[in-house]
Structure formats: structure tokens, C-alpha cells
Amino acid sequence: MNKNIVGIDWGTSNRRAYLIDQSGACLAEHADDQGMLAVGGRDRFGASLAGLLAAMRLPSDVSVIMSGMVGSASGWQEVDYLDASVPLARLPSHLAAVTDPAWAGRATIVPGYVYRDGGAADVMRGEETQLLGAVALGHRDGWIVLPGTHSKWVLLRDGVIQSIATYMTGEFFAMLSKGGTLSAMLSGDSANADGFATGLKQAASHAPLTNSLFRVRAGVVSRSAPAEQAAATISGLLIGAEFAAAARAADGLGITVIGSPALAARYAVAAQHFGLTCAVLDPHQVYCTAVSQFLKASS
């Protein structure tokens, strides 16, 4: 049996795979646009996985661990969420075996987490694997922020999830870009520093978000604000809304961001604006570290 393992972050739109050896080193990686939506149905995930392993020129007996939307109701097979009270270090003991006979004994799926607060709930799929990697790297306490389509703010205490708050920041920005009165303004540079700072400042005022968004348009059409800064101002408003909601709960603890360099840089600027310290972890490093934890647990 091949002693290496493949970890796959299988999202809605994209997919990234890492070949990890027993020492935890990444031997190879592969990224493509064959996320859950591109697979074309539950009965085609097996063929899609076989194609991925072939593209990576890997032997057929390599073990595979998958996280993300592959374990959702619309994925390969639905895997129940773990309760937030289950420590992240115990995640490797809760993997679900793929029931497809062609992959029996070779492929498993990482469960997500559910956090319940009274009658409300929040969930994650995929981010828990990065959190396991962060914990293994020594980040067992404090706020971990995972920005993206659905940004997650997760409070850890001794490697156990204390709360999860999800913000539809990236999805909302994409929706505004595709249609509506603001779409024409979102073709500009969303990284413009002055515009981003303006959005953060408006978010910090705790004005209603929908009103603040309309005022971006009003500023442009009345020539009170530069049109070239509109996209960045809206980005600052949306990211700033996360901080406005979470900064008080952060209570000066600071945050650790797991994200791409571009996104992490924006969150670092926002953190400084809201008076929080910000550390950054590389998402590939934390994912590979998590996969190495799964490999150690299976040895």
C-alpha cells in the first residue's frame, strides 16, 4: 500500500489537491476548476476523482482524504456535521468512508462542524480542515478568520470551537457585480487603498449596510466621490461589516487570518482600522499540515 496520502480541498467551484508524505512534506499539488458544480452529479464524483489522480500521475492505491462541499447534500455523499464541542484534534477519528465500492477503503471525507447558539446555528465545510492545521501549528486559542466567498470568524479555546460566525462577503460582492444599480461601479479597482479606507470608515459608523451601499452610488452620480474608488469602497464596506460585528467580541485578542496574500492583506488593513492585531497563516501550509495529521492518525 502506498504510504503517501492525497488531501483534496473540494469546493463548490474549484478543487485543489496535495500529495503529502509521512513526514508531512508536500510532494506535489494540483489545482483545477472541477469543483462540485462542474462534476455534473453524485454518480460522477468517482470518475472525477480518478481523473484528478491520473492528472497527478499517482498510483491507484494512494489513500485520499477529501474536505469541503464533496461531503455536502449536493456532493458525493452527505456527511453529518460534528458538534462544535468535538475538539479539532479529534477530527481524524471522525472521517466518513466513501461508500462507492470502487473507492472503498481508499477514500474518506472530512465532516464539517455545526455551532448552535440557542435556536440559531452556523456551519462550515472545508474550513475545519484548515483549523486543524492551524491548531497543529500552535494556534489553539483566539480568533481565526478565514475570508472568502463565505468568510468565517471562529473563536478557539484550547483547540475547541467556541463560536462560528459566517459572513456572505465574497458572494454578496459577486452578486452586486453581476446586476443591479451598483454593478457598473464594481468594474474598477477593488484594491484602491483610499476607497477601501473610506468603506472601512463608513462600516465603523455602524450605519445600516444597505443605506451605506446606496450612498456609494449617490456619491458617484452626484460627483461627490470619485467613481474609480467605488469598487474599493464597497469592498471596504462589506469587509468592514464583518469587523464592525466581530470587533467587540474580539475584545482586543487580535485575529489570525488564513487566506491568500491579497485577501489577507485587506483583512490586515481592516484589522488595523478596527484596532486589532493581525497575524497571517498561509492556507496551503495549514492544509498540508492538517493532511499530515490525518496521515499520522491512520498510521
Q: Contact, 79 vs 18, CB < 8 A?
A: no
Higher pLDDT, 148 or 67: 67
Summarised one tens digit per residue, pLDDT across range 177-235 is: 998 999 999 988 898 999 999 999 999 998 899 999 999 999 999 999 999 999 999 99
pTM for the model: 0.93
pLDDT at position 64: 97
Q: Is the pLDDT of residue 1 over 60?
A: no
Question: Does the structure show a pLDDT above 60 at 81?
Answer: yes
Mean pLDDT of the chain: 93
Longest Cα pair distance anywhere in the chain, in angstroms? 68
Q: Look at residue 52 in the predicted model and tell me its pLDDT.
A: 96
Task: HSE, CB side, 13 Å, CA atoms: give it for residue 189.
Answer: 9
Q: What is the pLDDT of residues 277-297, one digit of tens each?
A: 999 999 999 999 999 999 888
Spatial CB neighbours of 35, under 8 Å, sequence gap ≥ 6: 10, 11, 12, 13, 14, 15, 69
Percent of the chain with pLDDT over 90: 85
Q: How confident is the model at residue 273 (pLDDT cuts 50, 70, 90)?
A: very high
> Exposed/middle/buried for 217, CB within 10 Å: 0-12, 13-18, 19+?
middle
Instruction: Decide if pLDDT at 34 tops 70.
Output: yes
The answer to which of 29-38, 209-218, 242-251 has the lowest mean pLDDT is 242-251
Q: Which domains does the chain have, with CATH numbers?
A: 5-137+284-298 (3.30.420.300), 167-281 (3.30.420.310)
